[in-house]
Amino acid sequence: MQNNKNVTMSTEEFEREFDILYNNIMSNAAPSIDAYEKSVFLTKAQEEIVTAIYDGSFEHTEKLTESIDVLVTQMTYDSFFDAEPVPEWKKISPDSRMFKLSPPAMFITYEELTSHEKDKCGNETKVLVKPVKHDEYYRIIRNPFRRPRKREALRLNTEDMVEIVSTYQNYTYKVRYLRRPQPIILYDKQPGLTIEGRDSRTECELPPMVHRLILDRAVQLAAAVYKQPS
Are residues 216 and 144 both part of a single domain? no
Does 33 map to a domain?
yes
Q: Are residues 140 and 171 in the same domain?
A: yes
pLDDT of residue 1: 40
Confidence category of residue 22, pLDDT binned at 50, 70, 90? very high
Q: Give me the pLDDT at residue 144, please.
A: 65
Amino acid at 64: L
Domain match, 161 and 217 both: no
Query: What is the structure's pLDDT at 188?
Result: 85
pLDDT at 226: 80
Asked if residue 54 and residue 150 are part of one domain, the reply reads no
Q: Is residue 191 part of a domain?
A: no
194 located within any domain: no
- pLDDT tens-digit map of 85-111: 999 888 998 889 999 998 899 999 999
- The reported pLDDT for the residue numbered 18 is 96
Same structural domain for residues 117 and 46? no
Residue 133 lies in a domain: yes
pLDDT digits (tens, 9 = 90+) for 117-169: 877 777 888 999 999 998 889 888 887 665 566 788 999 997 789 999 998 99
Number of domains forming the structure of the chain: 2
The DSSP-derived string for the chain is ----TTSPPPHHHHHHHHHHHHHHHHTT-SPP--HHHHHHHHHHHHHHHHHHHHHT-SPP-HHHHHTTGGGEEEEEEETTTTS----GGGSSSTTEEEEE-SSPEEEEEEEEEEEEEE-TTSPEEEEEEEE--HHHHHHHHH-TTTSPPTTEEEEEEETTEEEEE-S--SEEEEEEEEEPPPP-BSSPPPTT--BTTB-S-B---S-GGGHHHHHHHHHHHHHHHHPPP-
Q: Does 62 share its domain with 163?
A: no
| Residue of higher predicted confidence among 93 and 77 | 77
What mean pLDDT is predicted for residues 174-184?
Answer: 95
The answer to whether position 193 is within a domain reads: no
Residues 6 or more apart from 207 whose CB is under 8 A from it? 67, 70
Mean pLDDT for 1-16 is 75
Q: 59 and 145 share a domain?
A: no
The pLDDT of residue 63 is 84
Same domain, residue pair 74 and 175? yes
77 and 46 together in one domain: no
Residue 190 lies in a domain: no
Are residues 61 and 94 both part of a single domain? no
pLDDT at 5: 58
**Domain housing 56:** 11-68+206-226
pTM for the whole thing?
0.84
pLDDT in tens, 33-75: 999 999 999 999 999 999 999 988 776 678 888 999 999 999 9
Cα 72 to Cα 107: distance, rounded to the nearest angstrom: 10
Same domain, 174 and 95: yes
Q: Do 75 and 37 sit in the same domain of this protein?
A: no
Q: Kindly state whether residue 63 falls inside one of the protein's structural domains.
A: yes
The torsion defined by the Cα of 64, 70, 71 and 73, in degrees rounded to 10, comes to 130
The answer to whether position 28 is within a domain reads: yes
